[in-house]
Structure 1
Amino acid sequence: MSTSEPVERGRRSEAWTWVIVSAVALTLISVQVPLSATIYGVPLAAAFSLTVLHVGALPLALRWPTAAGVISVVAVSGLLWLSAPTPEAPWPWAVAPEITQFCMVFLLAFRAPWQIASSIFGLSAAGSIVIAMVHGGGHADAATANIVVFVSIGAGVLGIGIAVRQWRRIRRQLVREQRINAEELSRRVIAEEKARLARDLHDVIAHSMSVINVQAASAPARLGGVDTRTAEEFADIATQARTALREMRGLLDALRVDGDAPLVEPQHGLADIGVLVRQTAQAGADVRLEWIGSDKPALSAIADLAAYRVVQEALSNALRHAPGAAIRVAVEALDGMVVIRVRNERATTQATLVAGGGHGLVAMRERVRSAGGTVLAAATSDGGFEVAAEFPATREEASG
């Protein structure tokens, strides 16, 4: 997942929030104005103006929550003050203004610090209490019950808004921590892969250096008739080869992770891909190998090993994530370039998910890049997956 995807999702979510809040506001205006004017006797101009201020504060709360909260308290207080008590309808909180104020309290609790939402809710309740005391008259009991209902439901709405905001904050923190952990793990995988590359490099080069040392040390005896100066040159070459080997081993010791055993097994290469494919097929997989071009492609030793590891990792991923799918391995050694493609079809059975995976491709890219090649790994249009790697030729093809 690219880093722009969460940002894009956030923008879409914010846009939808504006659309929904604006639609709710328009609906409330269409209901609240006529009810205030007809049932509660509020002058039409005042009912329209105060309702627009009251309901219009809802979208405003998405950008400026504190200002929107203050406007909503002032507007609804004016609307309740002008409303006449009536036994046919709840008072001082009519249903429409009550719902609007609940929406405001929720938005403030959801978008702003809880202190702001609590203050606006408290001011709304206090204002209605004062209005009920001044204009209640013979409707004191009904007004008290109405305010109790408003406070009870409003407190619940406030609590839900605060809880949702805290849940979102915790979720964002968890996502951020997971992203940081994933980046750290990716860097650690790359570092470990570089250490393995160093060990592979040692094993690849150590043999050649040892051959140089043996040939240089034994040259005077093998060739015979070598003068003293030439013998000293051969001895110096052998000394330099031994020194280089010691330095390489010292570097390897510094890079080796604690507990790693020295690598003494022979390193694999493209020539061993056929054996790898046969072993995979013997395990029950439908895997085939297609080889085009030279059977001894012109690759350096480190690129040869990297090419083998690409096929090994791609086969492992295909078996793990696409069980039962047919796998095709293609090697093209043409025109100074070796191209390897490992493609699997859609899985025929449900794959077993293993936690902690997904870093093999990271190590593969690092290995191929270190060998001077390029690698692409992506899903195919038919639901499968393909890994394609290219390695440039760096030496003449082996004879024979």
Structure 2
Amino acid sequence: MTSLENEPPRALLAGASRRWVRLLPWGLALVLSVALLPTTIQVLTADYGLDAGIASALAVTQAAPLLLAVVHPLRAWYVVFAADVAGALALLTVDFAERLLWPFPPMEVVGYVGLCLALGLREPRRTLLAVWLATAGANVGLVFVAPHGPGSKGLLLTILGGVALVLGGALRERYEAQRRLAEQETISEAERDRRTLLEERARIARELHDVVAHHMSVVTVQADSAAYRLDRLPPDVQEEFTSIGATARESLGEMRRLLGVLRNEEARGELAPQPGLSRIGQLVEATVRAGVPVEFAPCDAEVPEAVGLSAYRIVQEALANVVRHAPGAATQVAVSADGDQLTVLVVNAPPPEPPAAPLEVGDTGHGLVGMRERVRLVGGDLDTGPLPDGGFRVAARLPIDERDGPGRPLLHPLPP
């Protein structure tokens, strides 16, 4: 008879949320042991006339294992059951009054019933049935050799022990059912949250596809077909339309990758190689064509993909801010590697003249936040802010060695 539990044994009710409930089995076991130990010795010696030494040994083996029952009730049962049967056989050697309960005195019945309750709270049904059959078999066998003849009182331990086993088993199964129900509710809640997240991602993907991707496709088609729709386009204008089309197609490519991430539940990142330091020059050329004079100091250092992508996005957002907020302002872009650090610097002067109207309406202000997030992910530092002459500066230091982290002072940026 062994427990079906494979996990390390825990005290009874150890999973209860309230502390007093967790301590309850220890308190009851201690009370029973302390109360039954002297009581058993007194009753066996004074009422039954058993030798004091034998009575003391029986009392210890019948009461002390009740403390073990809090953690190992089945092991405690082996000891107590054997001690109770041995005590019944020892009482056959003495002459005691017929009114006294045999084969198991009252204090043994109390301790055994408490032990059966502990067994019911821990062991599976098969073990509980085996315990009850062993108890009934021993009880019936001893009744047939009763010194005063068989009687109904001799089966008291079998009846009360069976009731305790059933009660403990019912409480345990009820607790297990409630635990499984709580786990299922937790799983269902997690599934609902996951389903809500997937639905939101799908909705965002649909919106991006229907709105942004549609308009970008229109821009691409119009830019590519301008040379065929409009007669006698100057070469510089035709080149401008070609540049617009190329930029729009690149934006559509990035949009498709983003939609793939949103629609793919198992996606762990973007689905195509991402731009790095080698692509920053293209950003600068596109910005120059937009009417912003830019001086660019490139860098061909080998850096991790995440660092190169962060540098690209920082320059992209900084130049986009110049086009939006300071059109025509002289701008410097410098990317340099110094030892284990990559420094990205974008500085613009004030615009030649204040823009008549903002290029975009309802600016979200998420650009600088996005920069800081990208820098933080690679363990770098970012310094942004206005300059005394009215310009603006974006300076980032990114660790090339991924083991480096933030906390070192930012290199002083170049003046505009």
Bin for the TM-score computed over the shorter chain: 0.5 to 0.7
CA contact (8 A) 2:223 2:242 kept: yes
Supply the distance in 1 between the matched residues of 2:178 and 2:37 (Cα, whole angstroms). 35
* Equivalent position of 1:171 in the other structure: 178
Structure 1: distance between partners of 2:238 and 2:193: 52
Secondary structure of the 1:140 match is coil
Q: How many residues align?
A: 265
Give the aligned partner of residue 354 of structure 2: none
Shift of 1:234: 0.5
Contact 1:73 1:120 in 2 (8 A): no
Structure 1 partner of 2:51 = 43
> 1:182 matched to which residue of 2?
189
Asked if 2 retains the 8 angstrom alpha-carbon contact of 1:212 and 1:241, the reply is yes
Moved more, 244-253 or 81-90: 244-253
| Equivalent position of 1:108 in the other structure | 119
Q: TM-score scaled to structure 1, two decimals?
A: 0.53
Distance change (3 Å), C-alpha of 1:298 and 1:162: closer
Query: What is the match of residue 34 of structure 2?
Result: 26
> How far 1:72 moved relative to its partner?
0.8
- 2:149 partner letter: A
Contact 2:33–2:63 under 8 Å retained in 1: yes
CA contact (8 A) 2:69 2:76 kept: yes
Q: Percent identity?
A: 27
Residues 210-232 of structure 1, C-alpha deviations (whole Å, 9 max, x = no match): 785588579889x9985235414
Alignment-mate amino acid for residue 23 of structure 1 = V
Deviations 1:273-298 (A, max 9, x none): xxxxxxxxxxxxxxxxxxxxxx9675
Taking a change above 3 Å as real, the CA distance of residues 53 and 130 of structure 1, as seen in their structure-2 partners, is same
Aligned to 1:88: 99
Counterpart in the other structure of 2:248? 241
For the residues of structure 1 that align with 2:206 and 2:385, how far apart are their CA atoms? Answer: 22
Q: CA deviation at 1:163?
A: 2.0
Match of 1:102, SS state, is: helix
**Matched residues in 1 for 2:259 and 2:385: separation?**
26
Amino acid across the alignment from 2:130? S
- Greater RCO between the two (CA within 8 Å, min separation 6)? 1
What letter matches 2:25 in structure 1? T
Counterparts of 1:1-400 in structure 2, within 5 Å, are 9=16, 12=19, 13-83=21-91, 84-134=95-145, 136-137=146-147, 139-141=148-150, 144-202=151-209, 205-206=212-213, 209=216, 213=220, 216=223, 226-228=233-235, 230-235=237-242, 237-238=244-245, 241=248, 244-245=251-252, 248=255, 299-300=365-366
Larger helix proportion, structure 1 or 2?
1
- Measure, in 2, the Cα distance between the counterparts of 1:200 and 1:24: 70
Amino acid at match of 2:204: L
Contact 1:62–1:111 (8 Å) recurs in 2: no
Find the aligned partners of 1:250 and 1:127 in 2 and give their Cα distance: 76
Q: Against the structure 1 CA distance between its residues 7 and 164, is the aligned structure 2 distance closer, same or farther, given a 3 Å change threshold?
A: closer
Partner Cα separation in structure 1 for residue 128 and residue 59 of structure 2 = 20
Unaligned runs of 5+ in 2: 1-12, 265-360, 375-381, 387-416
Query: How far apart are 1:201 and its partner, in Å?
Result: 4.5
Deviations 1:66-89 (A, max 9, x none): 321111111111222233542333
Distance 1:207 1:115, change over 3 A: closer
Aligned-CA RMSD value: 4.5
**Distance between the aligned counterparts of 2:218 and 2:364, measured in 1?**
21
| Distance in 2 between residues matched to 1:44 and 1:80, nearest whole Å | 15
Partner amino acid, structure 1, of 2:132:
F
Quote the offset at 1:112 in angstroms. 1.8
Which structure 1 residue ranges, 5 or more long, are not aligned? 1-5, 258-294, 304-335, 338-368, 374-391
Are the structure 2 counterparts of residues 217 and 133 from structure 1 closer, same or farther at C-alpha, using a change threshold of 3 Å? closer
| Cα distance in 1 between the residues matched to 2:209 and 2:51 | 91
* 2-structure distance, mates of 1:76, 1:103: 14
Alpha-carbon contact 1:33-1:48 (below 8 Å) kept: yes
The residue matched to 2:144 in structure 1 has which SS? helix
- Deviations 1:36-64 (Å, cap 9, x if unpaired)? 22212222222222122112222212333
Distance 1:160 1:7, change over 3 A: closer
Distance in 1 between residues matched to 2:174 and 2:104, nearest whole Å: 31
Q: Say if 1:85 and 1:91, in contact at 8 Å, map to a contact too.
A: no
Shift of 1:299: 1.6
Distance 1:124 1:85 in 2: 24
